[in-house]
Homo-oligomer: A and B are copies of this chain.
Amino acid sequence: MELKIFGDKTIEVGAKEDLYNTLKGQGTYLVAPCGGKGTCGKCKVRILDGKVDCKSYGRLEQKERLEGVVLACQTNAKTDLTIEIPRQSRLTLGGKIASTAFKEPAEYLKSYNFEINPIVKRVFLKLPPPSIEDNISDLERLKRAVLEAALENMRFSYELVATLGETLRTANWNVTLSYAEEENINTFEALSLFSQDECSRRYGIAVDIGTTTVVVYLIDLVSGRIIDIGSTYNSQTRFGDDVITRIVFATEGGGLNDLREAVVSDINTILDSLSDRHGIEMCEIDACAVSGNTTMSQIFWGLNPETIREDPYIPTINYYPLWKGKTSGLKINPQSPVYTSPCVASYVGGDIAAGILASKMYRNSEIALFMDIGTNAEIVIGNNEWLMTAACSAGPCFEGGGIKNGMRATPGAIESIKIDPNTYEPIISVIGGVTPMGICGSGMIDAIVEMFKTGLINQKGIFAQGKTNRIREGEEGLEFLIYSDKELKRDIVLTKVDIENLIRAKAAIFAGVTLLLKEVGLPVDAIEKVYIAGGFGNSLNVEQTKMLGMIPDLPVEKYVFLGNTSIVGAYLSLMCDELRYELEEIASKMTYIELSVIAGYMDEYMSAMFIPHTDLSVFPSIKDEIGKYLYQIN
């Protein structure tokens, strides 16, 4: 029988295998922390057409069942089927690395002029077997060899000693010791001991814990090659879209643990799928680097983030010790070190420090601006001598949060829009060339700017009625119809509320940049490079984004798109100790400015609540063009 995935491919399906496993077998992965046992209730799909056999509905709500939602792992096809996979159910494997520079991370790493030197090192030790004359204990024998290998101050955990006697003898006294260096306390930590020919494959993972998205790189620790990539939505989202809501939830009874379990199980689900796909044992993954914002990092480790949102906004921890795989709850070697990118302050986290590492701006003398636009936006200005940073309360809308038909920049997302100035018909471009399912950040920016240019909204973002029936009354007030799906009977729109949210977000970002420049006493054109990081990917149109008034009025050639710098920074810190230490230094060098307490913030923010700004002199290069559109509206 045929199984048609709406907006995607069509695959073969048999009556005997459930949909979860059928899809998995043909490369479409669903989220299922329970491994397909019907207990987690996450592998939801909607049956659009055809008949199925359902073993169990698990914890599905009545409403969902009436809409045709089933658990894929509990459902078998009885006829040809058409199904829809909701974005939350989809696990993405084999994703792309957005920017050109990062396409070959192992090559990119070399451009730092360091060799591969991963966080977990190995040393081969040939021990003389014991005798009556040389009868020191096993651990002392190992320590003697370790000292001969010039490794002083090595710490041996209980776990390693617990199996030491057996390992040494099984390995016939020829062993490989893995260890990590803890620079800040001048100590090495012994991790695992192997037979010479055991565990010759070595993998590591880099993890970006975004507020909205979780991304995992599976890495060959020897070559530095990225073997595969997996990503999914952060299922903490069900407890709240933004960090503040989640912090509040964390302080409630059991909330912290729920949040922690959600993200750890997201990562583990990806790890399960990646391991399955590449035939890797969990114990072969013996290193991990994680980067996330301050709240995400603390929740990942089960540290209450309460004080992050209380004046004076203090995290429990910025510089994390190397804790263990076992402590993290990740399905990796329990003895593996887990490195956490250092955070700078409550609202500038390890993802930003990692981003600066990936951008290299901390190594150059030219003054650069770094903007990471994800859920919220963080900005950094500086060079190899100084770094200033601030956070903008932009909210999650550019990643799809709080936007009616918003979604991440993944297949099915409308990523760019052109509106015909005469017919007002939108021409859309969809990631992956499939049926559109929603609109991502770059698409939203295009939509607003195109509506502004064609006079469908004014400088404040208010709809001009009567020009086209694509502007219509919706559930939340006026909305603009971008795409109508006859088959699904579903429209993709941008609502009045969406536009308000987007303008607030861009205003927060622009006000942040303006104020940070003021704080450092530099004019806009002192900026020689602008690095844009975040989920926009390569599809962000600089001219349009400038026109929206979100980014400074600088020549296009100064802009560089970097994509997900958080995970690339994590990758670099995992693969090279020297870069890990540089990352620690970056964080300690960054000066955090709390924008909300600076006089003038509110003024800057209010001025930026226009397209592009109340003061057009701030955008000199497009001033004339803007004037044309304003004239056209009036």
Chain A positions within 8 Å of B, measured between CB atoms, are: 130-132, 135-140, 153-158, 161-162, 164-166, 169, 182, 185-187, 301-304, 306-307, 311-319, 321, 323, 327, 343, 345-346, 592, 594, 597
Contact = CB atoms under 8 A, between A and B. Distances in A.
A310 to B, nearest CB: 10
A397 B174 CA distance: 42
Copies per complex of this chain: 2
A363 B370 CA distance: 66
Contacts of A307: 138, 165, 169
A38 B322 CA distance: 45
B314 A138 contact: yes
Nearest to A306: B165
Closest 7 CB pairs of A and B: A137-B318, A165-B316, A139-B317, A137-B315, A153-B185, A130-B314, A138-B316
A155 B184 CA distance: 9
Contacts of A312: 130-132, 135
A265 to B, nearest CB: 20
Given A135-B345, A313-B135, A315-B137, A304 B156 contact: no
Contact of A166 (B138, B139, B304, B317): B304
24 contacts: A130-B314, A132-B311, A132-B313, A132-B594, A132-B597, A135-B313, A135-B592, A137-B317, A137-B318, A137-B319, A138-B307, A138-B317, A153-B185, A153-B186, A153-B187, A155-B182, A155-B187, A155-B321, A156-B321, A162-B302, A164-B316, A165-B304, A185-B187, A187-B187
Q: Among A314, A317, A343, which residue has the most Cβ atoms of chain B within 10 A?
A: A314
Contacts of A315: 137-138
A314 B129 CA distance: 10
A318 B139 contact: yes
A568 to B, nearest CB: 25
A161 B317 contact: yes
Given A132-B594, A135-B592, A316 B155 contact: no
B131 A161 contact: no
B319 A162 contact: no
A187 B158 CA distance: 17
Nearest to A327: B158
Contacts of A319: 137, 139-140
A186 B182 CA distance: 13
A365 to B, nearest CB: 28
Contacts of A138: 307, 314-317
Contact of A316 (B161, B301, B314, B346): B161
B136 A303 contact: no
B165 A303 contact: yes
Nearest to A343: B137
B316 A139 contact: yes
